Amino acid sequence: MAVPLFDAWPMHEPLAEELLAAVERVLRSGRFILGPEVEAFEAALSKTLGCAHAVGVSSGSDALLACLMALDMGPGAEVVVPAYSFFATVGCVLRVGATPRFVDIDPTTLNAEADALLAAVTPQTRAVIAVPLFGRPIEGLERVAERVPLIEDNAQAMGAAPLRGLAACYSFFPTKNLGALGDGGAVVTQDAAFAERLRRTRAHGSGRKYHHDEPGGNFRLDALQAALLSVKLPHLPAHTAARRQLAERYIKALPPGLTPQTPHASHVYHQFVVRSPRRDALRAALGAAGIGTEVYYPLPLHRQGFVEARKGRQAPCPEADALSTEALALPCYPGLTEAAQREVIEAASRACAALEKDARLPV
Ligand X SMILES: Cc1ncc(COP(=O)(O)O)c(C=O)c1O
**Are 358 and 351 spatial neighbours (Cβ–Cβ below 8 Å)?**
no
Query: Least separation, in Å, of the C-beta of 270 and ligand X?
Result: 8
Angle, helices 338-360 vs 279-288, to 10°: value is: 130
Stretch that binds ligand X, among 42-50, 55-63, 158-166, 260-268 (CB under 6 A): 55-63
Strands (E), 252-308: 259-260, 272-275
Distances (CA, A) of 38 to 32, 41, 51: 9, 5, 16
**Are 95 and 89 spatial neighbours (Cβ–Cβ below 8 Å)?**
no
Stretch that binds ligand X, among 20-28, 152-160, 274-282, 339-347 (CB under 6 A): 152-160
Query: Least separation, in Å, of the C-beta of 44 and ligand X?
Result: 19
Which residues between 60 and 119 bind ligand X (CB under 6 A)?
60-61, 85-86, 88-89
Alpha helices in 58-185 (DSSP H): 60-70, 88-95, 114-119, 141-147
Among 100, 149, 185, 331, binds ligand X (CB under 6 A): 185
Q: Of 109 and 341, which CB lies nearer to ligand X in the complex structure?
A: 109
Among 153, 222, 319, 326, binds ligand X (CB under 6 A): 153
Q: Of 167 and 285, which CB lies nearer to ligand X in the complex structure?
A: 167
Q: Of 92 and 340, which CB lies nearer to ligand X in the complex structure?
A: 92
Among 131, 138, 178, 291, binds ligand X (CB under 6 A): 131
Dist. CA 119–CA 126, nearest whole Å: 14
> How far is the first Cα of the chain from the last one, in angstroms, to the nearest whole number?
34
Query: Least separation, in Å, of the C-beta of 290 and ligand X?
Result: 25
Strand order in the sheet with 167-171: 53-57, 185-189, 167-171, 150-153, 125-130, 78-82, 99-103
Query: Least separation, in Å, of the C-beta of 75 and ligand X?
Result: 23
Among 99, 171, 230, 261, binds ligand X (CB under 6 A): 171
Q: Of 181 and 355, which CB lies nearer to ligand X in the complex structure?
A: 181
The 3-state DSSP class for residue 269 equals: coil
- Position with the least CB separation from ligand X: 60
Q: Of 88 and 168, which CB lies nearer to ligand X in the complex structure?
A: 88
Instruction: Tell me if 156 contacts ligand X by CB under 6 A.
Output: yes
Q: Of 153 and 222, which CB lies nearer to ligand X in the complex structure?
A: 153
Q: Of 38 and 285, which CB lies nearer to ligand X in the complex structure?
A: 38
CA-CA-CA-CA torsion sign (349, 355, 358, 360): negative
**R_g (Cα) of the chain, nearest Å:** 21
At position 219, the amino acid (one-letter code) is F
Query: Least separation, in Å, of the C-beta of 155 and ligand X?
Result: 3
Residue (of 110, 106, 71, 113) closest to 92 by Cα position: 71
Query: Least separation, in Å, of the C-beta of 217 and ligand X?
Result: 13
Distances (CA, A) of 124 to 76, 99, 152, 249: 7, 10, 19, 45
Among 22, 155, 221, 291, binds ligand X (CB under 6 A): 155
Q: Of 171 and 341, which CB lies nearer to ligand X in the complex structure?
A: 171
Q: Which residues bind ligand X (CB under 6 A)?
A: 59-61, 85-86, 88-89, 131, 153, 155-156, 171, 173, 183, 185
